[in-house]
Amino acid sequence: MDIERLKKISKKARIDILKMVYNASSGHIGGSFSAIDIMVYLYFQKMNYSKDNYDKPDRDRFILSKGHASAALYTCLAYKGIISENELLSFRKINSILQGHPSRKLTPGVETSTGSLGQGLSFANGVAIGLKLKNIPSKVFVMIGDGEINEGQIWEALMSSIRYKLDNLRIILDYNHLQIDGKIEDIKDPRPTKEKFESFGFATFEMDGHDFKEIDKTFTSADKIKKKPVFIIANTIKGKGVSFMENNVDFHGNPPNKEEFEKALMELSNV
Amino acid sequence: MFKKKSSLRAVYGKELVNLGKKYDDIVVLDADLAKSTKTEFFKKEFPERFFDMGISEADMVVTAAGLASVGFKPFCSSFAVFLTGRVYDQIRNSIAYPSWNVKLISTHAGISVGEDGASHQMLEDIAITRVIPKITILSPSDPNMVSNLMEKIYHYESYLYMRLPRNDVYEIYKKDQDFEIGGSYIHKIGKDITIVATGQLVSYSLMAMLELEKEGIDTGVVDMYTLKPLDTKTLDSIIDISKGILVCEEHSLIGGLFGSIAEYVVRNHPLPIESVSVNDTFGESGKVEELFEKYGLSKESIMKKGKILYDRI
């Protein structure tokens, strides 16, 4: 694994996400920056997914249940050559194929439309069940937010993942500890977090969601699990990469002003 | 006039098995109501293609979307109140918006659920599904119609909602009668009034028609088994010939077939319209006949409204 290559892609993606959100005057930087390193690892290291097979049955699939991190997803699809990089700056603008939240019908490479939280895991279960029925050995990766687990449907779906022993499924929790209204611990505290998922019957892993070495180790270990689904708690930092955005809930869904944009661009470029 | 009654949900269950024998890409999901929705027949025959998702309708319909994305043709069933009202957002955002080919087939639609009462009756499902862009909605009236439509539903390449009642209904059509998704069945277009009915109110409308004709009102009946897209061609023919339309449905008077027809007619060819539907209220426990009587869905209610309409034209 070429870690320097992945770091370079992440750096470029963070800069593009910043520009996209600034240019649109709207979008979700915080949750895109917490998720992007894992997504870069999946798209550029782990998954069997390319411009040639992205619509073929045997591809691996990534489902972004926390659809508000759409900007992060679009950068990956662009660098994969599935959508044009020029398209990125049309993000959230009228007539764009890049909607505020992912739209399957408008954007090639988007597995399904997400954004109404709590639903992507059920969809991923359906895909995983379907792949097993068809004896297709592909893997399904689904990323859920830590605020998103407030949604009851997540817990319905977790029980289904277990029930159908979906060992072709990898659930990734983007554990950045912030949701729009504040700290997740102040709203619906999920702790003890790991114990919850373990008690459901998942093979549960924890990793630093910004350390490619650790990410790779975790997903490699996950591949050895049989007969049960994998749940990965990714310890992440909301706004990771820009000092004044890190752990700052103001950058969940608010765009930066001009001064903040320039400062952030400087920080990201100098990494 | 009609002699035999039978169960639409039993026909649905049997036809699912027939489809399962013919096509190996059909999968069926239920939410702990397989015995009531009759998907249990499919479960027994094809356990590997049947998924009981438990009492979690939201999880069920979105899992079905995932299965559709891998090329399966999922049929999801539950009671109408749970399959539409409880999961409106999931149908909208995870089936319709991304356009997954999922069939939603409810039983226990309407007030004819009976003794279980208002929590389990569903008089709003047409209203809340009808606003979802490009959804197709069916409301069959007769067992032979359900039987005929099932193969077409399987081949229909889009998401679709069909509502079936709990109780047994009168047989209206012959076995070889053919029906198309998107169409309606014209029994007769009346020179005075035409009753446009859907679901089990079609049989009552046909009975009421005979009575109204005896009283000198030239009455027709159209079975509007496709609720969306609306069969405007047939409506245009009714408008050309009839002087008034009486809409009959086992649904709230808000947002159902009455609303749909009123929206079309008022914009194109204003014409008096009356409806036999349930007032803006919840139902209650009781026997089907008692409920139909109390909530104004009986043959007598149709005749009464027919005469009111006739006086207006």
- Residue B270: predicted pLDDT: 85
Say if residue B269's pLDDT is above 90.
no
Domain boundaries, chain B: 5-170, 185-312
Report yes or no: B215 and B265 within 8 Å, Cβ to Cβ. Answer: no
Closest to B67 (Cβ–Cβ): which among A104, A129, A156? A129
Tokens 């029980």 sit on residue: A159
pLDDT digits (tens, 9 = 90+) for B112-148: 999 999 999 999 999 999 999 999 999 999 999 999 9
CA distance B88 to B123: 15
CA distance to A74, A124, A176, A192, A227, per residue, from A118 (Å): 21, 11, 17, 20, 24
Closest to A123 (Cβ–Cβ): which among B54, B56, B62? B62
- Residue B1: predicted pLDDT: 83
Best mutation target, B28, B70, B93, B158, to test chain A (most A CBs within 10 A): B70
- Flag if A119 and B71 touch (Cβ within 8 Å): no
To the nearest whole number, what is the mean pLDDT of chain A? 98
Structure token pair of residue B165: 């009642």
CA distance B177 to B140: 13
- Flag if A105 and B97 touch (Cβ within 8 Å): yes
| Domain spanning A3-269, CATH class | alpha beta
CA distance A225 to A227: 7
- Flag if B65 and A129 touch (Cβ within 8 Å): no
CA distance B295 to B308: 18
Determine contact: A131 vs chain B, CB below 8 A: yes
pLDDT digits (tens, 9 = 90+) for A213-249: 999 999 999 999 999 999 999 999 999 999 999 999 9
Closest to A112 (Cβ–Cβ): which among B56, B59, B65? B65
Active-site annotation holds for B57 = yes
The mean per-residue pLDDT over the stretch A40-63 comes to 98
The mean per-residue pLDDT over the stretch A107-126 comes to 98
CA distance B115 to A62: 46
**Region B185-312: CATH code:** 3.40.50.920
ipTM above 0.90 for this complex: yes
**Region B5-170: CATH code:** 3.40.50.970
- Flag if A157 and B65 touch (Cβ within 8 Å): no
- Provide, as residue numbers in chain B, all residues whose Cβ is less than 8 Å from the Cβ of A164: 51
CA atoms within 13 A on the CB side of A18: 26
> How far does A158 lie from chain B, in Å, by closest CA?
10
> How far does A62 lie from chain B, in Å, by closest CA?
12
**B114 φ/ψ sector (left φ>0, alpha ψ -120 to 50, else beta):** left
Say if residue B57's pLDDT is above 90.
yes
The mean per-residue pLDDT over the stretch B254-261 comes to 98
Confidence band, pLDDT 50/70/90 cuts, at residue A271: confident
Q: Show which of residues 82-121 on chain B sit within 8 Å of chain A, judged by CB atoms.
A: 89-90, 92-94, 97-100
Q: Closest chain A residue to B31 measured between Cα atoms?
A: A156
Record the pTM: 0.98
